[in-house]
C-alpha cells in the first residue's frame, strides 16, 4: 500500500472530478449552453488559448524544474479541473501523486509543487493589488460606499495573506531564489495573458463593445475573482459590467455560455483521458 498510494489517490481524485463535473453540468451547465452561441470562430480560438494558458504555464515551469515530458500536460490539465470542480488544492494533491508515481523522473516533488502553488497564489494576489490600484480611481464612482469598503478590506486581506510568505521566505520555499523569481514571473505572465485572451474572446462575441472596455472588464474580473470578502463574485462582476456597457441580456448570456463551455471542455477532456488510460492499461 505504501508504494501504491499515489495511484490510489490519483484514482480517487479522478472519480471525484467525474462526480463533480456531472453535478455541475446537470445543475447549471446545460442551461448556460442553451444561451446564445457566439458565431465568430475567433471567440473559440481565444477561448481555447485561455483554457490552456494555466496548464501551459505550469508545464513550462515543471518542464524546467523536472524535465517532464509532454504527457505531463495531461496531468496538469487534470490538476486544473480538480481545483475547479472538487475542492481547492485537490489538483495539487493529484499532481503530487502523479509525480510520486514517477519517482525515477522526480526524486522529491513535494517542495517544488508546494513552492509553485504558493507562488501562483502570491502572483495572483500581486496582480489583484495592481488591478485595484488601476481600477479603483477609474471605477470608484460606479460603486456604493459599502462596496468600496468591502473592496478596501479585501485588498488589505489579500496583502496580509501574502506578507508572511515574503517575510519568512527562506523557511517557506525550497527552490533557489533565482528559480523562485522565474516561476513568479511565469505566473504573472500567465495571469496577464489570460486577462487579454478573455477580453478578446468577449470582444469577438460582442463586437459593439470596444476592446479597451473589454480589457478593463477583464481586469475587473480578475480582481473580483480573488477578493475574499465578496459573497457572490459572479453577480458583482456581472452587475459592474452591465453598468459600464449595458446590454444586460447579451452580457448575461455571454458570461453564462463562457462558464458552461469551460465546464463542457472539462467533461470532454476527463472522458478522453479516462478512455486513453483504459486503452493503455488494456494493451500494456
Q: What is the pLDDT of residue 200?
A: 92
Q: Taking 70 as the threshold, does the pLDDT of residue 191 lie above it?
A: yes
Averaged pLDDT for residues 66-73? 89
Averaged pLDDT for residues 140-149? 63
8 A C-beta contact, residue 86 and residue 17: yes
Averaged pLDDT for residues 165-185? 89
Residue 104: partners with Cβ closer than 8 Å, 6 or more residues away = none
Averaged pLDDT for residues 48-74? 92
Q: Taking 90 as the threshold, does the pLDDT of residue 189 lie above it?
A: yes
C-alpha distance across the termini of the chain, in Å: 22
The band of 98, judged by pLDDT with boundaries at 50, 70 and 90, is confident
Averaged pLDDT for residues 70-92? 86
pLDDT: which is higher, 259 or 174 = 174
The band of 1, judged by pLDDT with boundaries at 50, 70 and 90, is very low
pLDDT: which is higher, 152 or 199 = 199
**Range name among 53-62, 66-75, 214-223 with the lowest pLDDT average:** 214-223
Averaged pLDDT for residues 237-246? 65
Q: What is the pLDDT of residue 46?
A: 95
Q: What is the pLDDT of residue 251?
A: 75
Give the mean pLDDT of the chain: 79
pLDDT: which is higher, 131 or 125 = 125
Q: What is the pLDDT of residue 2?
A: 53
Tell me the C-alpha to C-alpha distance, in Å, between residue 136 and each of 130, 195, 199.
10, 18, 19
8 A C-beta contact, residue 105 and residue 68: yes
User: How would you write the chain as a 3-class SS string?
Assistant: CCCCHHHHHHHHHHHHHHHHHHHHHHHHHHHHHCCCCCCCHHHHHHHHHHHHHHHHHHHHHHHHHHCCCCCHHHHHHHHHHHHHHCCCCHHHHHHHHHHHCCCCCCCCHHHHHHHHHHHHHHHHHHHHHHHHHHHHHHHHHHCCHHHHHHHHHHHHHHHHHHHHHHHCHHHHCCCCHHHHHHHHHHHHHHHHHHHHHHHHHHHHHCCCCCHHHHHHHHHHHHHHHCCCCCCCHHHHHHHHHHHHHCCHHHHHHHHHHHHHHHHHHHHHHHHHHHHHHHHHHHCC
8 A C-beta contact, residue 165 and residue 118: yes
Q: Taking 60 as the threshold, does the pLDDT of residue 153 lie above it?
A: yes
pTM exceeds 0.85 for this model: no
Q: Taking 60 as the threshold, does the pLDDT of residue 116 lie above it?
A: yes
Amino acid at each position: 500500500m505504501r508504494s501504491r498510494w499515489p495511484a490510489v489517490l490519483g484514482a480517487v481524485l479522478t472519480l471525484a472530478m467525474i462526480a463533480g463535473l456531472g453535478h455541475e453540468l446537470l445543475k447549471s451547465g446545460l442551461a448556460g449552453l442553451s444561451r446564445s452561441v457566439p458565431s465568430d470562430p475567433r471567440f473559440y480560438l481565444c477561448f481555447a488559448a485561455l483554457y490552456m494558458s494555466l496548464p501551459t504555464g505550469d508545464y513550462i515551469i515543471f518542464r524546467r524544474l523536472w524535465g517532464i515530458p509532454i504527457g505531463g500536460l495531461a496531468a496538469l490539465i487534470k490538476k486544473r479541473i480538480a481545483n475547479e470542480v472538487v475542492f481547492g488544492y485537490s489538483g495539487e494533491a493529484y499532481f503530487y501523486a502523479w509525480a510520486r508515481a514517477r519517482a525515477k523522473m522526480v526524486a522529491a516533488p513535494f517542495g517544488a509543487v508546494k513552492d509553485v502553488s504558493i507562488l501562483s497564489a502570491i502572483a495572483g494576489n500581486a496582480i489583484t493589488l495592481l488591478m485595484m490600484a488601476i481600477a479603483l480611481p477609474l471605477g470608484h464612482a460606479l460603486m456604493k460606499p459599502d462596496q468600496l469598503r468591502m473592496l478596501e478590506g479585501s485588498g488589505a486581506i489579500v496583502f496580509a495573506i501574502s506578507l508572511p510568505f515574503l517575510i519568512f521566505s527562506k523557511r517557506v520555499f525550497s527552490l533557489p531564489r533565482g528559480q523562485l523569481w522565474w516561476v513568479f514571473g511565469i505566473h504573472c505572465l500567465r495571469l496577464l495573458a489570460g486577462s487579454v485572451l478573455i477580453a478578446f474572446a468577449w470582444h469577438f462575441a460582442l463586437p459593439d463593445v470596444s476592446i479597451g472596455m473589454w480589457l478593463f472588464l477583464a481586469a475587473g474580473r480578475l480582481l473580483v475573482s480573488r477578493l475574499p470578502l465578496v459573497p457572490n463574485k459572479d453577480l458583482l462582476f456581472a452587475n459592474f459590467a452591465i453598468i459600464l456597457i449595458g446590454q444586460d441580456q447579451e452580457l448575461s448570456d455571454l458570461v453564462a455560455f463562457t462558464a458552461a463551455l469551460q465546464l463542457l471542455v472539462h467533461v470532454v477532456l476527463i472522458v478522453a483521458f479516462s478512455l486513453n488510460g483504459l486503452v493503455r492499461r488494456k494493451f500494456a
